């Protein structure tokens, strides 16, 4: 019973990870999620006002968190369950 639940949860997490692409170039931030239905966010690095990182206790221990990007004239974009969110924030802010 518990083994089957664990396998299903692991498969769901693996598919989410497989269907997510994140790229930080010298000009843009690109975030794509989904395998069949696709959600894409592109933001110019010049238009980013702030990058916030939220981590729970478990997230700090394991190394994941939510990164919230606030841009000028654009909506707030939360990027959920990012691996190593502090390094990701540093990559965005070090332009």
Q: What is the pLDDT of residues 26-82, one digit of tens each?
A: 888 888 888 888 888 888 888 888 889 999 999 899 989 999 988 887 678 888 888
Model pLDDT, residue 74:
65
What CATH number corresponds to the domain at position 33? 2.30.29
Residue range of the domain that includes 87: 2-93
d(CA 71, CA 66): 16
Number of domains in the chain: 1
In the predicted structure, residue 95 carries a pLDDT above the cut 70: no
Phi, psi of 69, rounded to the nearest 5 degrees: -110, 125
In the predicted structure, residue 14 carries a pLDDT above the cut 80: no
37 Rama sector, left if φ>0, alpha if ψ -120 to 50, beta otherwise: beta
Kindly report the pTM of this predicted structure: 0.74
């Amino acid at each position: 019973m518990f083994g089957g639940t664990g396998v299903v949860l692991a498969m769901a997490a693996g598919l989410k990870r497989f269907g997510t692409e994140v790229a930080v170039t010298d000009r843009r931030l690109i975030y794509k999620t989904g395998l069949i239905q696709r959600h894409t966010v592109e933001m110019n690095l010049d238009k980013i006002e702030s990058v916030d990182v939220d981590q729970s206790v478990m997230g700090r221990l394991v190394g994941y968190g939510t990164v919230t990007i606030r841009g000028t004239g654009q909506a707030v974009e939360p990027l959920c369950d990012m691996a190593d969110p502090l390094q990701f924030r540093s990559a965005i802010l070090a332009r």
